[in-house]
Amino acid sequence: MSRASLERGADGTLRLTGALDFANAPTLWRQGRAIFDAEGASHREIDLAAVERTDSAGVALLLDWTRRARAHGGELRLRHVPQQMLAIVQASGVQAVFEIADDPA
């Protein structure tokens, strides 16, 4: 099983690394919720360049974080979204929910 982590870079950007999948989603979900709940409203960016693989649980996780950010009056922007994730987002019909800042990783 590949591990995953959510870390804040020096510039304030959140970075997801590893496998964004069913096995890692619960831990990442808790980490993300703690950040959004503790810091309140803001505009956030999540860099997905180091995501090795993803599945529908990863998309569900990002949907939750997007809703959480909006509930606090902020927005969530995704950068370097992997092709695999874009395919799941498009197949699920949820692409309008996400703000994607650039081309896929």
pLDDT digits (tens, 9 = 90+) for 25-57: 999 998 888 877 777 656 688 999 999 999 999
- Please report the domains of the chain, with CATH numbers, ordered by start residue: 4-100 (3.30.750.24)
pLDDT at 67: 87
pLDDT at 2: 77
CA 92/CA 72 separation, integer angstroms:
25
CA 3/CA 71 separation, integer angstroms:
29
Residue 92 near residue 58, CB atoms below 8 Å? no
User: The tokens 């099983």 sit on which residue?
Assistant: 1
CA 93/CA 15 separation, integer angstroms:
25
Residue type, position 31, single letter: Q
Indicate the pairing of strand 14-20 with strand 99-100. unpaired
pTM of the model: 0.86
